[in-house]
Amino acid sequence: MTAAVALEVSNVARHFGGLVALRDVSFKVREGEVMGLIGPNGAGKSTLFEIISGNLAPSGGQVSFFGRDCTTDPAHVRRRAGLCRTFQKVRLFESMSVSENIAVSARQCLPPGHDWRAEVVSILARLRLSGQADRMPSEITLADRKKVEIGRAIAGFCRVLMLDESLSGLTHEEAEELIGEILALNRDTGITVIVVEHVLSVLAAMVKRLVVLHNATVIADGAPGEVAHDPVVIEAYLGTKANALR
Amino acid sequence: MDAPATERGASDPAAERSPRRDRERRAFIYGFVAIAVVAALPTLPFVNDYLLAVVVRALIFIALGQAWNVVAGIGGLLSLGHGAFLGLGCYATGILFNDYGLPPWLGVWVGALLSLAVALVMGTMTLRMRGVFFALATIAVSLALDQLARHYVDLTGGDNGLALKFLGDSLWFMQSRTPTPFVYAGLVFVIAYYWITRWVLGSRLGLQMRAVRDDEVAAAAAGVGVFRTKLLGLLLSAVMTSVAGTLYMQSYQAIDPETAFGLSQAIQLQLPALIGGLGTAWGPIVGGAVMIFLSEATNWGSTKLGVAGIDILVYGLLLLAVVMYAPKGIMGLFAARARGGR
């Protein structure tokens, strides 16, 4: 049986004055899928991310979440519906402890009748952050800050998790660990994951499907192996075949 | 001493419970002693009416600072014209009493409703915008109300202001020849506003407000309705300010446009929280007490020295020093010390 379509982006376009940031971007993400979104700087990844999460209105097109058009829904409504995200540059609530950061979304997004405190404890344990619960964000490592942001993103109710370059700035070991956490999350809870990254080799280890953005539109959509060998992708984005697989 | 809303200890509640309880117990003891001292002041033989009037002034400005702290300290919204709500409370109570014989017990709610309406309109128009628009809008509203108060002379007394008709000592009309009843009334306000602040800090609304203050975009990504949160914070703060305005009016028995809506008054409302510590329940209390003490001490020194105006200069410099060397306020210094000792 085919999984339901979790997220559908249909003909999305965005202009900033005369600058075309996105044009006619369309793709679907199925429930439970781990999908990668790559593209060089200026390809439109961040703009697309902001449009999907509700921080930016598209100039045209539609975003649907589990079959429901959410194009005009504000960001917090999408989040409560289970469309969750992290940020390229980690944005934690700096005046709050690690557990409070996670508590914000747990208290907002948890369905009625559930204990938000238990949710916070459970997420801290899942991300192996229990020992950091009472620390302030400024007192923890970048890797843990990224984990806290993921914890905040999934707390309460999450059906699709969008990660914006969550691996950047991490050491190889830290990135490996985080990838493990993300894949475990997908495996254990069935959360759909969309990962935006620059480096194809990192994504190839994580995802079964890649969407490549270039010059404001989708130029490839397929398995990482296929995409890495796609001449259009190589020419437009990756430069050489050797770079593609590095 | 003062732990802002916290879910700390979520990982190991038992381990954290003890220090937090200790802090709360200490805070309770300090608070109880402070309340007992202030409550006992009117009964002490060496305390005259002047000193009691200073205490009343301190309590009123602490209450006003507590109200401002809700929107600015917890919510991060820089309201530079919060005097508007103070003025609405004062004028509503005063006009309804003088012209219609309505006691302040009822007038206070009319003032609160007016403030609620003004805050609702102002917030709806400006809180979706980013940057300084809200701060500018609060100044604009204050200036507009200032002009209205000066224009409608028959109603407000115009530039000369509005003086309450004095009907003698009366609980029903909240009037007294001595400051003593206002010491107790002020104390009730400060305690009530302290508990409101504590409630906000520990509530879901408080967590939302702090999240919005820290990062609006991240707050929305955590499911917080940013506009609604800001608006609720503003409405609560406006009502608190307006209700405290009634106490101000009954205590001083008069109000004028400059005192109600002027910039200097607006700054005075902000100082308790700024000095004491933004976003904390104890900050405005400690800050308000320090502010009035500094004001009175420099005033006394200036009189002794016979140098007019020096008090304002010294007062300003002292405040500047507090803000420069303790940007998180006096409570921030306590918190830093507590962290250092951990």
Query: How does pLDDT run across B100-134, given as a tens digit for each residue?
Result: 999 999 999 999 999 999 999 999 999 988 778 88
Smallest Cα distance from A246 to chain B, Å: 34
Of B217, B223, B225, the CB nearest to A55: B217
Question: Where in the sequence is the domain holding A20, given as residue range(s)?
Answer: 5-82+159-245
Residue of B nearest to A108 (CA): B223
Instruction: Determine, yes or no, domain membership for A88.
Output: no
Q: How many domains does chain A have?
A: 2
Of B207, B226, B279, the CB nearest to A104: B207
Residues in A touching B215 (Cβ below 8 Å): 91-94
- Are A67 and A163 members of one domain? yes
Smallest Cα distance from B34 to chain A, Å: 29
| Other residues' Cβ atoms within 10 Å of the Cβ of residue B8 | 22
User: What does the alpha-carbon distance between residue A37 and residue A169 come to, in Å, rounded to a whole number?
Assistant: 18
Residue entry with tokens 């609604």: B228
- Looking at residue B18, what is its pLDDT? 61
- Are A149 and A63 members of one domain? no
ipTM here = 0.91
- Are A175 and A149 members of one domain? no
- Looking at residue B17, what is its pLDDT? 54
Burial of B304 (0-12, 13-18, 19+ CB in 10 A): exposed
H-helix or E-strand spanning residue A23: strand A19-30
Output A65 or A197, whichever has higher pLDDT. Answer: A65
Residue A90's closest CA among A143, A54, A46?
A143
User: What does the alpha-carbon distance between residue B215 and residue B220 come to, in Å, rounded to a whole number?
Assistant: 9
Is the predicted pLDDT of residue B10 greater than 90, yes or no? no
- Are A131 and A68 members of one domain? no
**Residues A65, A141: contact at Cβ < 8 Å?**
no
- Looking at residue B14, what is its pLDDT? 46
With a CB-CB cutoff of 8 Å, which residues 244-283 of chain B face chain A? Answer: 279
Residue of B nearest to A136 (CA): B8
Q: What are phi and psi of A63, to 5 degrees?
A: -120, 125
- Looking at residue A246, what is its pLDDT? 47
CA A220-A224-A229 angle, 5° bins: 70
Mark yes or no for CB contact A93/B223 under 8 Å.
no
- Provide, rounded to the nearest whole percent, the portion of chain A with pLDDT above 90: 68
Is the predicted pLDDT of residue B2 greater than 50, yes or no? no
**Residues B171, B178: contact at Cβ < 8 Å?**
no
Residue entry with tokens 């950047």: A168
B21, B22, B24, B26: CA torsion to nearest 10: 160
- Looking at residue A170, what is its pLDDT? 87
| Other residues' Cβ atoms within 10 Å of the Cβ of residue B27 | 16
Is the predicted pLDDT of residue A119 greater than 70, yes or no? yes
Average confidence score pLDDT of chain A: 90
Both structure tokens of A6: 């979790």
From the candidates B7, B74, B224, which should be mutated to test the interface with A, based on the most A CB atoms within 10 A? B7
Pick the CATH number of B13-340 from 1.10.287, 1.20.59, 1.10.600, 1.10.3470: 1.10.3470
Sheet holding A83-85, edge to edge: A83-85, A160-164, A192-197, A34-38, A209-214, A217-222
Is the predicted pLDDT of residue A152 greater than 80, yes or no? yes
Q: How many CA atoms lie within 13 A of B151 on its CB side?
A: 6
| N residues, chain B | 342
User: What does the alpha-carbon distance between residue B108 and residue B203 come to, in Å, rounded to a whole number?
Assistant: 26
Instruction: Determine, yes or no, domain membership for A38.
Output: yes
Mark yes or no for CB contact A75/B222 under 8 Å.
no
Is the predicted pLDDT of residue A78 greater than 60, yes or no? yes
- Confidence category of residue B12, pLDDT binned at 50, 70, 90: very low
The mean per-residue pLDDT over the stretch A95-123 comes to: 95
Q: How many CA atoms lie within 13 A of B164 on its CB side?
A: 30
- Are A21 and A110 members of one domain? no
CB contact, 8 Å: B215 with chain A? Answer: yes
- Single residue among A137, A157, A177 that ends a domain in this structure: A157
- Are A74 and A107 members of one domain? no
Query: Taking the model in full, what pTM does it have?
Result: 0.89
- Are A65 and A181 members of one domain? yes
- Looking at residue A56, what is its pLDDT? 95
- Looking at residue A10, what is its pLDDT? 95
- Are A149 and A164 members of one domain? no
CB contact, 8 Å: B119 with chain A? Answer: no
User: What does the alpha-carbon distance between residue B209 and residue B231 come to, in Å, rounded to a whole number?
Assistant: 10
Q: What are phi and psi of B45, to 5 degrees?
A: -65, -30
Q: Which residues contact A71 (CB under 8 A, 6 or more apart)?
A: A57, A58, A61, A62, A63, A64
- Looking at residue B99, what is its pLDDT? 94
Mark yes or no for CB contact A121/B10 under 8 Å.
yes
CB contact, 8 Å: B14 with chain A? Answer: no
- Provide, rounded to the nearest whole percent, the portion of chain B with pLDDT above 90: 65
- Are A140 and A180 members of one domain? no
Residues in B touching A131 (Cβ below 8 Å): 11
From the candidates A107, A158, A163, which should be mutated to test the interface with B, based on the most B CB atoms within 10 A? A107
Of B12, B204, B223, the CB nearest to A79: B223
CB contact, 8 Å: B191 with chain A? Answer: no
- Looking at residue A1, what is its pLDDT? 61
- Single residue among A121, A139, A157 that ends a domain in this structure: A157
Instruction: Determine, yes or no, domain membership for A71.
Output: yes
- Confidence category of residue A235, pLDDT binned at 50, 70, 90: confident
- Are A233 and A118 members of one domain? no
- Looking at residue A238, what is its pLDDT? 54
**pLDDT tens digits for A15-25?**
998 899 999 99
Instruction: Determine, yes or no, domain membership for A90.
Output: no
- Are A125 and A235 members of one domain? no
H-helix or E-strand spanning residue A15: strand A5-16
The domains of chain B are located at 13-340
Residues in A touching B279 (Cβ below 8 Å): 95
Of B12, B217, B222, the CB nearest to A104: B222
Residues of A with CB under 8 A from a CB of B: 53-55, 74-76, 79-80, 84-85, 87, 91-97, 99-100, 103-105, 107-109, 117, 120-121, 124, 130-131, 133-134, 152-153, 155-156
Is the predicted pLDDT of residue A86 greater than 80, yes or no? yes
Residue of B nearest to A150 (CA): B222
Q: How many CB pairs under 8 A join A and B?
A: 108
Mark yes or no for CB contact A76/B223 under 8 Å.
yes
Q: What CATH number is given to the structural domain containing A231?
A: 3.40.50.300
* Range among A96-105, B75-84, B260-269, B289-298 with highest mean pLDDT value: A96-105
Per residue, the 3-state secondary structure of chain B, as one string, reads: CCCCCCCCCCCCHHHHHHHHHHHHHHHHHHHHHHHHHHHHHHHCCCCCHHHHHHHHHHHHHHHHHHHHHHHHHHCCCCCCCCHHHHHHHHHHHHHHHHHHCCCHHHHHHHHHHHHHHHHHHHHHHHCCCCCCHHHHHHHHHHHHHHHHHHHCHHHHCHHHCEECCCCCCECCCCECCCCHHHHHHHHHHHHHHHHHHHHHHHCHHHHHHHHHHHCHHHHHHCCCCHHHHHHHHHHHHHHHHHHHHHHHHHHHCEECHHHHHCHHHHHHHHHHHHHHCCCCCCHHHHHHHHHHHHHHHHHHHHHHHCCCCHHHHHHHHHHHHHHHHCCCHHHHHHHHHHHHCC
Residue entry with tokens 């699709």: A160
- Are A28 and A121 members of one domain? no
Output B264 or B9, whichever has higher pLDDT. Answer: B264
Smallest Cα distance from A223 to chain B, Å: 30
**Residues A201, A246: contact at Cβ < 8 Å?**
yes
Residues in A touching B283 (Cβ below 8 Å): none
